[in-house]
Structures are given as structure tokens and as C-alpha cells.
Structure 1
């Protein structure tokens, strides 16, 4: 049977417009092209055909589409698997809309020149500007380009191709101001039109009057008659140009006055591109503005322009906090059964926000293991903060977000509050294993809130960091590496004797390190003595997928950040639900592979009946299997939740199915129940519907702001990140090298001239005696 084809309506050259009522996106303008797709279509072939059709480069092409029924979230197609997934999403439909975003080919790598208030460009830098060489001066709120004399030997001016590019970019603004009786909806609209008009015609201007009733503007060139006067049209809110003299006598304003570009203007220019590409980098902004308009920006100027554009698109960071009451209300209304609570401090400043969607709550209860990972990550928005998260592991060993919270700072109090809210979201009908670092706040809160209904496993990465920190400076790099290696081996060891052997290896290096390990409560981090079930997951950073999402949106205002995370969770649940519908095995793919690997290992094993449900299995080792207790002396069955090779050998000897002895959470049926519920979109709270009741609660931003400098990131697995410590190659001491080794230098001096040694000793400072 031939694969079903769908028609892709490929659109390019338009722009996305946001619907103010519901926040959905609509693509307007551009041209369209129809393309046939099926499951055998390759992405490279699609890009090649679109490149030829729309005359754009393949490398700079981005292809996006909307999920069915969701006009807020754009999904990117970057590989063949993404293309196939899109075709599966729209299998019941005859066509799909895709959007081609093509970057202009031939972007030049223009270096960002640091601009000071009085610095001037060199001749070679000036030559890339349009029409005439220009200087760059930066004021607090604007960039000013002024004429300079050409100092190049040949008097070379910018190439005509550059001039044409710049003229093409600004020609669209040449008729922004048409003359008397032209009307605008507001003064800001008039000022923006005037600003673009001045750039297109290459002159600067200054305000003679500029208030809420009237605006009078004249050319900045002395004696030039160009001027314009606009005021409010009587009995209306419209702004009308009443007088205008459009003639210049300054011999071509571009040759004499130059023009200026405010950060607000740059923000308006890049706003549409920032909407499509949120990770638009300041250096790329500077390069694009230089190429298209001939204006040189340095990094900080481009960064500030991006901040202005971002606030225009996303709204005020401050106002986002005040929208939290309505936002939480909308979450619960659109997703019944969800939890969305927030709290403020006495001064009404933001304290913390907790969110757990009903789909996550039911998914964890129905199909996930009773295992939750607790971790945190810094946010880099204007008011910073920290995100606390609780993630679980689904039946295919993928991360499943259960709940998260945004707090003003990571404190014991906020962790206690988060765990209290989490308890109301998750079922405690079964004992839950929590994995986190071993800070006192989490440990004590788990004991107070969950009591005996939970086990607490320490994150192995934090244990390794603590070992290194407490013993820092006492051991060489190689010794420390071996100790951490033995610590990891001890943690993963399934049997007590294996754990003890690894601990003895540490003792051989250092009895002090061995004592540290034995006093660090191994029953919280070592498999051999841990009482709960952590399924061989040793670190709290299991939900890396979720934390990657957070990093992508950590600079957004708080309500938008939460809504984007909701959209990503909604997409994840939909995608996994669709993918699992095609699975044909009894277990999920990951667990099916593990079970089959254990089945292969079981082939050469010999089974002997001991008594009742107990069996002896002989292979490289002698193990005892009790099928009634679902237990094997190798401990792998208990650690992983899947039968080990010894147990599978017994099932084959008895003629039983191994699938009957797997945990239910590993079956496809449970996996489908995990993703059976959906997360629904949330209305745009920035533009509430007419007549909608607003809460009287005021929420202001937290007092802390983002500190200067590059934000710190979390370490990778500490096993791989131990830094080499300085060690002397002569005396083998730590913290210095042979050049600064006092002992080695003393021996050399004594060997060269023993008479100098007393003089050196006399020069050394002596201890004062009392």
C-alpha cells in the first residue's frame, strides 16, 4: 500500500501577527507554494525545492508549523524525524501549513566597534557607511552619525552595492510623512513615523515644542527652513499635521547633518525578527543593522535595543507579577484539577508561585514510578529568582514534569513550602522515593511533611562534591580522582560485599577519607544499603529536558515563562501520546530492550530447584532466585524493577512469561495512561476580556534584581569535573610547584654554597616570643 500523501502549503515572506484576544498567531502576507509530502520524504529534498522556489539559502532556512488545534506554539523541523512526526500529526488531514523563515544570504561578519562619547571612527571604518563616511558618537538615548572628512588616500566611498542595500532598507519610510492634513492615531505613532522619515531622507531634527497637545519640529541644520507642526484634531483623539515646509537648503541633509538612530528605533526594527527568533543575539543585531542601514552599534547598544524590543513584545516584567492572581485563576479554570497558588510578603512583593497541572498529577499517579527528583535552577530574568522542580520518570525512563515553583530565592523556608504544596498534588497511597541534594532544608522538610511515607536518596553528584570539598588540599589530583571513582562504584554496587570492597579501596588511599565515607550516611546514597527504590537513578538532575526548557525561557516575564513551559509540556504529552500509539511490544521500547538483553544473558545459565519458589541458578556466579518475593541474590531485579538474567532463566525453566514479573509501570498500557490527559491553553491575561473581574490583590516584583556579570551555571557530573591541583614535582607537596618550593630551593642553595644558608635563615622573619 502506497504511503498517504498530504499537501504542505508552504508560506514565506510574510510575518506573524499576535491576536490580542487569545494570544494566537496568524501569518499574514508573503507568497505560498504547494508541496506533496509523505513518510518517505526527506527534509533535505524539501529544503532544496523550497530554496529554489523562494530563492533563499538552504543553510539559513528554518521550517516551522503549528500543532493541530494550537496556534500559539510553533514547532521547528530540524531533522527527518521531526518531518515524519509532523506528517503523523496531520495524518487525518489532507493538508498542513508550514512556514519558511529564511535569513538573508551573505551576511557579513562586521565587528562591533566599542563607541565612546567622543571617539571617532577611522577612515576604513567610516567607508562602510552609506553615501559619505561617518563618525559614530553615542549619547545616553541615541546614536548620532556625523559627517567627517574622507582621509583615505584614494578618497574611496562606499560601493554602489552597499548604497543600494541601505537605500532599499530605508526607502519604505520615504513617504511616512506626506504633508499637511496627514493624520495619526497618537503622538507616539507620529514621532515614530517622523523618525523613520528622517532616516530615509538622511537628516536630523530637533523639537521646538513636544508635549501632549502639540509637536513642533525643525531641521537641526542651522538656517534650514524645513519644519513641521502637528497637534490634536479638535473633538477627536487623532493627531493631524497642520503646517509643513518640506524643503531643505542644507545642500543635501545627508552630506551635512547625518542622522540619528535611537535605541527605541532599533527596537522597533528588530521586533518582528525577535518574535520569530527569541534567541536573536546582540552581535547579530549589530551586524544586521550595519548591513541594512549603515549604522554601527556596539554590543551594549544592541543589547539595550533588544531589551526594549523584548518588553514591547512581552510586556512589562513588573506588570507580569501583578497579573499573577488572574493568571493562577485562569490555570485552574482552563485545566480543572490543577493547582496554581502564589503568595506575597507583607509589603506585597512576590514570594513564591506553585504550579502543577491536572494532566501531570494524574499522569504521575496512573503510570509513573513512585520516584521524584527534586532540583533547582537559577532564572535570569530582570528580577532573577529560582525555579524549584519535581520531576518523575515515566515507563520509558523519560523525564515527566510533575510540579514546579518560582521563588524569590532558594531557602529552607521556600523548599518547605514547595514540598507542602507538592504533597497535595501527589498521591501518598504508596511510599515515594525522593532524590535530591542533602541540604538540611529539604531533608528536614521531607521528614516533617511526608514522614514515614517517603525515602530520601542523596544525589551522588552532591556527595562527591562534598567529599572533595571537605578533603580539599590534602590529596593529589590522581588520588582524588581515584577516591571519587571508588565512591561512584560503591554507590552503584548492588551487594553489601561489593560496597565494602570499594570502601576498602578508599581506605587504602586515606583512612580519613574512608571515615568520611562511612559517616556520610551511605544508607541514603548507596544501592546496597538504601531501603527505598530508586531504580538505579543516582542523581537529582534526571529531568534535564525540563531544565533545558527553563534555560530557554528563563529571561521572560514570569507569567509568560510559565505559559511557555506549559506549552512545551502540552506538546511533549501530545507527541508522546501519538508516538506510543504506534508501539507494538508489551513493554515500552527502553524497557523492552533491557529485558531482551537480560534474556540473552539467561541462555547459558543452569537452573536447579531448591524448594518451593526458591531456585539456584549457576553461571559465572551462584545466585538464589525467589520468584514469590520477586527477588534475586544479585539484587538487580530489586534495583531495576525488571527481572534479571537469573530470574529469566528460572521462568524459562518453568515455562512462564518474563512479562508477568515486570512492574506494571513499564508496560505500554501504563505509559498510555501517563499521557492520557492533555494540558489546555490559557487565555492571554495581558488583555482580559471586557467585563472580566479583576482581583484586588496587588503583587509587586521581589526586591532583588539580576546581579552583574555572567550567571553561574551548575556543574556537570562531578566525577568528570575534578580540577587538577598544583603539585610540586620535587617534594611532592600540594599547593606549589618546584619554582616556589622552599624546601627544594633551600637544598639547592646549601649544595651550592653552605655559607649562604645562615644568612638566608637570618633574613627570614622570626616568631615573637612573649
Structure 2
């Protein structure tokens, strides 16, 4: 494979200019070009650039812009930075490199910067007027050392402020000062905040903005302060050092939300206040510092936040402070979780307005808290009914958002065995009632789409009639009330419930009472799958006898688990050999990537993924020249290769005998073979292909229509449209909704959410087996069995 090369346009000697929107442009200077790729070493790259401009390699600084971001300059300082820069520009032909020295680096106030994946915040240059809409709060620490360190960096306040007041014994001040020392580097990092407070008459948009500005001003000017008054309409602050006259008072201008400085004494007579006490790093302050960096690098880790703030401001944070600060910054960037729930009524209207034929609905509880939210786009419903097999997979995924919840989803398999999302819902919890509600909405959405198609698309009437003759099979767990709900909701339809084999095997292992080793459990699961895949009753019986020889308990459990719902030998519907309900892993990976977003943004992110999927697959299928989809064409060819050694005994009717390793009976008229391969897959088996060939007919005519390229293109023929202004609806639009939606009472528990999904194999933990008595549950050293010696 050819190595991707990027032309680096290196520029030096010019100046950066900032427009009114904060975008940087480079004017003047000289430019040279060089070709680079990911094989180039940083040392060689830096040396060649230095030679280009005849500059000192020791003081040279290299920076660049991320693609489509002219506000943030990224520093190239090592091998990894260079490789990341080349990777970021893999879709571009050129990359602009700016060559500077330490003396001419652009002013930090115009240059939020980064060193690739982790950056010192002195380069971040957060705007001084960044508003804060989060009430300041304090992290309580469980140990005395944590409290003392917090006090070192805290602002002491009275009882009506949310900061704390702790006296630090003189004998422990010195060791803490080592951590919080304010050196020249820290002064340089905060230089842009030194003139944040200008004096009497200065105005601020809110009391929160005033507090944040004052906090940065104090850090830059190296003093600590405490609140005398601190509420929503007035703030009085004095220097923390006793006897120092520095003082400031601000209050709200009448009839407005503006906060104005009314009195100020800017004179300090104290010395070294910061060395004694430092500054309190509240969560909202941390959020304001890291917000710009977080926009460019969403994976900015709390441990890196701790290191950056310590390096740039001399303030040491706890890991949890950094984590909470990041959470607040994320909410400021993404929007409020509570506001997203309030937007739901209008959001549903927008979905159905921009995508006619879709269904978007929600319900609340008696106290107006969120209960459940269902979405099915018309393009998905249309594609399923016109191009996909009548086969639905139901599964769920736990959400790790601020208010938790569960996503329920129905996915289908397209003609190329790709995942096709049909409908999904966000509910407060996975329960029998919520699954029943989801199935009711799904049935309603499919019926509405069918009726709409019959009215607007005459050509689709025949296709709908053909679809109606094929009963839908739903592959799902039998627990969680699904068994009863599917039977109840679809009682007027011929719908088959196929039990998910993955869930069935997990339940088998959980229900076994005896002490079984990990190896025995693995064999039981393997035999269960073999039993399910057996195409004939005699094959089923052989496999079940194998299970019986291992465990009679397991045998009895399986025989009582209704094999007619999961065994190929007895299942009356068509599941096309799909035995588990977790077919839609691609869809669930999209949800996992977006599930920490507010609910409306999460749903819109999923919508964008489905929209992209439809467009991509439609474009790809337009290039196909085969009659069947690529994967089905491959399967069909494999069956064709097995035809040669078969002998066909012709008859005058439609039933034929085919002899090979076994004797099978093929019924061409009813599309069946005694091997059941034709019925299970929808493609003619080798026995059927041999008979069809002897009759002089085309085997492709006997393939299920769902596997044809034309049906695949029909699946992706409709498009999903964008939903404008999804991030922030106007208050007038939201007020139209008759229902007020508030967040559910559930909240995310403390600690990091688990990112690992337990599989059926992982659920079977290995048990100890004694090498002395061969028993389970203990080892040789703890064995208490009395063994008889012969």
C-alpha cells in the first residue's frame, strides 16, 4: 500500500491576526514546502525546517491548525505529535506549519493551544469573559490531609457562601507551600487575567460571571480573598489577610440581571497571602478553564487536567475535582440534561415534521418526570417492509448518561446480512410494562407506514401483499415479560417468537444447581447450540442425549424450555438461521458512543448515523452487477459447488429424489428440501440446485426475493432528513408543548461506568477443582475429604 504523503507548507516571519469571531490568520513572512509522511522522524523534520529558515533549533517552536479549526494552534514537540499531525491531515493534501521562536509566540488570549493529546493550560488561553451558569460547589474530602490541601487552595467564606473556612496550623504551612508555589511560569500563564477587574462601574452579565472573573483576577494578582456577602444580587469581598484594605462590592442594577461594581479599594498592604492559603479551585472554575480544550479533545482525561492545572497555575486538584469539572464543562458544551427533557415535546414534533410518516412519541409519569420515548423513522419502516426479511431482533442496552435509563431497539437484517435499524426507544428502566409499550408503538408505526405506502405508492401494493403472506419472526429473550407481551400485542397477527439462544444458554447455566466445572459448562453450552441448529428431529435427539449423559438436570431443563421456540427441528417460523437477538451490534455501538449526551442530542446522533448508513449502502449497491447481494451470491456459489456428485431421480410430479451422502427429497413447487437447508436459509440448497438444473430452469428464480440486489436497493431507497436546531429550540417553540417533561428520578451512581459488556462465556466463571479428591469449590490445600487407601 502506498504511504500517504502530505505537503507541509512551512511559514515563518509573519504575524497572526484575529478576526471578530476569534479565527486566526497568518499574514506576511516567508514560506517553504516539503513533503512528509508518517515514516519521517521528528528530529529530521525539525532539523530540515531549521535549515529552511536558518533559525536556532533550540528556540524554534512548531505549531499547526487542526483541519477546519482556525482558532486552536497545536504544538509539535515530539515524535508522537508529528505523527498525529500527519494523521489529522490524512484527508488533506497540505498542512500549514508555523515556525516561531519563544519570543514571538502569539498572545495567549488569542491562541487556545494544545500539545496534541495533552496540553498545558497556559496555551489554552480561555477567554476572560466566558460565562458560568453553574453554581459553585465544594468537594468534601474524607481525610484530614485532603481537607488541609483543599484549604491551601481555598477561598474562606462565611455561612452564606458555598466555600469553606479552615485554619491551617503554622507548622504545616511550609510543606503545603511547596505544592502551591506561584513561580514566573504560573504568572505568565495567568497574565491575561491581571486586568480582569478594572474598577467601579464595570458590569457583568451575571453574578456567576462576576465571581469567576474575580477568581481569575485574584489568581493572576497573587492574593486570596473571602466573601463577606454573597448572594444572587450582591457580592462583597475583602482580602483574606487581616488588616489589608483591599475590598470590592458589586450589586445588581435595578430591573436588570447585570452586576455592577459599586465600590472598590484596589490597594493591597499584605504580603504573601497566596503563599499561605492559595486559591480554591471550584468545579465551575475548572470547567471554565478546560472548556475550550475539551471542545477540541473530548477525550481530555481528568488525570491530565490535574497535571495541567498544577503545572500552569500551581494549584493541585483531587482527581474527583477534575472529573466533576470536566462533567460541568461537558454540560456547558453539550447543553443541559434537564433542558433536553424539556425539549422532548417539540423534538417529537420536529421529527415527524421533517420526516413525514415517522412516529415519535413520549410519555411522562404523574409528576411530569420522563418515562419513555419512542422513535421510528419512515425510511427505516419503509426499508424493513419493502426490502428486508420479515425478521426482527429485540434487544436492550443500559445507558450511562446522567439520568441512566435503558435503550430498547428493534433491528432487522438486510439482504446482505447487514444490520438495519427499524425502531428504538429510551425508557426509564427495562421492565415488562416498558417492553409491552415499545411493542405497541412498533406495531402502530409499521401499520401506519403500510397504510401510507398503499395510498401513495401503487407499485408497492403488490410488494406489501407479498410481505403480508410471510409471517414476521421476532428473535428475543423469553424473559423480561417479552414472552407474554409479544403474544398479547400481536395476538391478531401470525407472529412467531424465536427465543434468543444466547440468553437461553446463560439462563441454563444460572439455573443449574449442581457443582459443574467451567469445562463442563462450556460443553453444555456447545451441545445446546448443536441441538438448536439440528435440522431434523433425529439430529435434535442425538444432541439432547449427549447433554443427558453430562447432566440429567440440564437435560430436563432444556426439554422444559419449549424447544419449538428455538430448535430448528421444531420451530414453525422462518428465522433464516439467525439464532441470537444481539444481531444489531453495530447499532448498539453507535448508542454506546453517544449515550452520555443529553437525550435529544443522543437521539439526533443516532439519527445521523442511520442517515449516513442509508446513504452509504445505497451508493455502494448502485455499483453491484450481480443478481444477488455479494454475501448471498457467495453463499449461493458455495452450494453450487456441492452439486456435481449428486444424482437426481426425476419423476412426473414436483417431488424429486436426490442421492449423495444421504437421500433427500426436493419439492420444487413448495420450495422445500428434506435437509431443510432451503427452508432455513431462503437460498436453494445443493439438492434443490441439482433438481432445478435438471429441469432446465434458473436457480436464481428460486432464491428468496429479500436477497436480490433490487430488494436491497429498495431497502435503502428512502432517506432520513435533518432535524434543524436540534441543539437549542427557541422558548416559544418549546412553550407550545402542552406537557412539561422533567428528568427521571434516577441518577448515575458515583464512580466510572463499566465499559465492558459481559458475554455468555464470561458469565461462566471458572470453579476451583481439587487435584486430590477431584471435587469442586475448593483446592488441594483446603481439601477435607477422607480418602480410603487400598
TM-score for both structures, normalised by structure 2: 0.75
Against the structure 1 CA distance between its residues 234 and 298, is the aligned structure 2 distance closer, same or farther, given a 3 Å change threshold?
A: closer
Question: Could you report, residue by residue, the CA deviation over 1:378-424 in whole angstroms, capped at 9, with x for unpaired residues?
Answer: 22233322221111111221211111112222221111111111111
| Partner residue in 2 for 1:338 | 358
User: Given the alignment of the two structures, is residue 521 of structure 1 paired with residue 558 of structure 2, yes or no?
Assistant: no
Q: Distance in 1 between matches of 2:298 and 2:737?
A: 31
| Partner residue in 2 for 1:87 | none
1:588-737 correspondence to structure 2 within 5 Å: 588-654=629-695, 656-684=697-725, 687-689=728-730, 691-692=732-733, 693-708=735-750, 716-719=758-761, 721-737=763-779
Q: Distance in 1 between matches of 2:380 and 2:40?
A: 37
Counterpart secondary structure, 1:728: coil
| Partner residue in 2 for 1:556 | 597
Report the alpha carbon displacement of residue 653 of structure 1 after superposing the two structures with TM: 4.7
1:296-335 correspondence to structure 2 within 5 Å: 296-335=316-355
1:82-161 correspondence to structure 2 within 5 Å: 103-104=115-116, 118-119=144-145
Against the structure 1 CA distance between its residues 208 and 722, is the aligned structure 2 distance closer, same or farther, given a 3 Å change threshold?
A: closer
Report the alpha carbon displacement of residue 265 of structure 1 after superposing the two structures with TM: 0.3
Which of these residues, 184, 188, 196, is aligned with residue 176 of structure 1? 196
Q: Distance in 2 between matches of 1:409 and 1:360?
A: 25
Report the alpha carbon displacement of residue 539 of structure 1 after superposing the two structures with TM: 1.0
| Partner residue in 2 for 1:438 | 478
Against the structure 1 CA distance between its residues 465 and 622, is the aligned structure 2 distance closer, same or farther, given a 3 Å change threshold?
A: same
1:230-629 correspondence to structure 2 within 5 Å: 230-232=250-252, 238-426=258-446, 429=468, 430-439=470-479, 441-451=481-491, 452-629=493-670
Question: Could you report, residue by residue, the CA deviation over 1:471-516 in whole angstroms, capped at 9, with x for unpaired residues?
Answer: 2334333322212111111112223322221112112222332222
The runs of 5 or more residues in structure 1 that have no matched partner are 15-25, 34-40, 65-75, 85-99, 752-770
| Partner residue in 2 for 1:71 | none
Q: Distance in 2 between matches of 1:52 and 1:233?
A: 45
Report the alpha carbon displacement of residue 263 of structure 1 after superposing the two structures with TM: 1.0
Report the alpha carbon displacement of residue 722 of structure 1 after superposing the two structures with TM: 2.0
Report the alpha carbon displacement of residue 720 of structure 1 after superposing the two structures with TM: 5.9
Q: Distance in 2 between matches of 1:341 and 1:62?
A: 47
Q: Distance in 2 between matches of 1:358 and 1:552?
A: 24
Q: Distance in 2 between matches of 1:720 and 1:213?
A: 57
Q: Distance in 2 between matches of 1:459 and 1:252?
A: 70
Please, which moves more after superposition, 577-586 or 461-470? Answer: 577-586
Against the structure 1 CA distance between its residues 259 and 516, is the aligned structure 2 distance closer, same or farther, given a 3 Å change threshold?
A: closer
Against the structure 1 CA distance between its residues 729 and 149, is the aligned structure 2 distance closer, same or farther, given a 3 Å change threshold?
A: same
Q: Distance in 1 between matches of 2:707 and 2:295?
A: 41
Question: Could you report, residue by residue, the CA deviation over 1:413-439 in whole angstroms, capped at 9, with x for unpaired residues?
Answer: 111111111111225834111011112
The question of whether the paired residues in 1 share the 8 Å contact of 2:473 and 2:495 is answered with: yes
Against the structure 1 CA distance between its residues 423 and 121, is the aligned structure 2 distance closer, same or farther, given a 3 Å change threshold?
A: closer
Against the structure 1 CA distance between its residues 742 and 683, is the aligned structure 2 distance closer, same or farther, given a 3 Å change threshold?
A: same
The question of whether the paired residues in 1 share the 8 Å contact of 2:180 and 2:278 is answered with: no
| Partner residue in 1 for 2:462 | none
Against the structure 1 CA distance between its residues 220 and 583, is the aligned structure 2 distance closer, same or farther, given a 3 Å change threshold?
A: farther
Against the structure 1 CA distance between its residues 225 and 318, is the aligned structure 2 distance closer, same or farther, given a 3 Å change threshold?
A: same
Please, which moves more after superposition, 443-452 or 249-258? Answer: 249-258
| Partner residue in 2 for 1:70 | none
The question of whether the paired residues in 2 share the 8 Å contact of 1:323 and 1:686 is answered with: no
The question of whether the paired residues in 2 share the 8 Å contact of 1:176 and 1:194 is answered with: yes
The question of whether the paired residues in 2 share the 8 Å contact of 1:143 and 1:261 is answered with: no
Against the structure 1 CA distance between its residues 78 and 46, is the aligned structure 2 distance closer, same or farther, given a 3 Å change threshold?
A: farther
Counterpart secondary structure, 2:713: helix
| Partner residue in 2 for 1:202 | 222
The question of whether the paired residues in 1 share the 8 Å contact of 2:179 and 2:315 is answered with: no
Counterpart secondary structure, 1:426: helix
Question: Could you report, residue by residue, the CA deviation over 1:569-591 in whole angstroms, capped at 9, with x for unpaired residues?
Answer: 22222232333333333332322
User: Given the alignment of the two structures, is residue 192 of structure 1 paired with residue 233 of structure 2, yes or no?
Assistant: no
Counterpart secondary structure, 2:285: helix
Report the alpha carbon displacement of residue 269 of structure 1 after superposing the two structures with TM: 1.7
Give the count of matched residue pairs. 681
| Partner residue in 2 for 1:20 | none
Report the alpha carbon displacement of residue 354 of structure 1 after superposing the two structures with TM: 1.3
Counterpart secondary structure, 1:743: coil
Question: Could you report, residue by residue, the CA deviation over 1:238-271 in whole angstroms, capped at 9, with x for unpaired residues?
Answer: 4443443333232355444422221110011222
Q: Distance in 2 between matches of 1:546 and 1:43?
A: 35
The question of whether the paired residues in 2 share the 8 Å contact of 1:383 and 1:706 is answered with: yes
Report the alpha carbon displacement of residue 531 of structure 1 after superposing the two structures with TM: 1.3
Q: Distance in 2 between matches of 1:448 and 1:589?
A: 38
Q: Distance in 2 between matches of 1:521 and 1:47?
A: 64
The question of whether the paired residues in 2 share the 8 Å contact of 1:121 and 1:136 is answered with: no
Q: CA RMSD, aligned part only?
A: 4.4
The runs of 5 or more residues in structure 2 that have no matched partner are 11-15, 28-34, 47-61, 66-74, 94-111, 121-138, 157-161, 448-466
Q: Distance in 1 between matches of 2:537 and 2:599?
A: 48
Q: Distance in 1 between matches of 2:555 and 2:113?
A: 59
Counterpart secondary structure, 1:702: coil
Counterpart secondary structure, 2:626: coil
Q: Distance in 1 between matches of 2:392 and 2:223?
A: 63
| Partner residue in 1 for 2:23 | 29
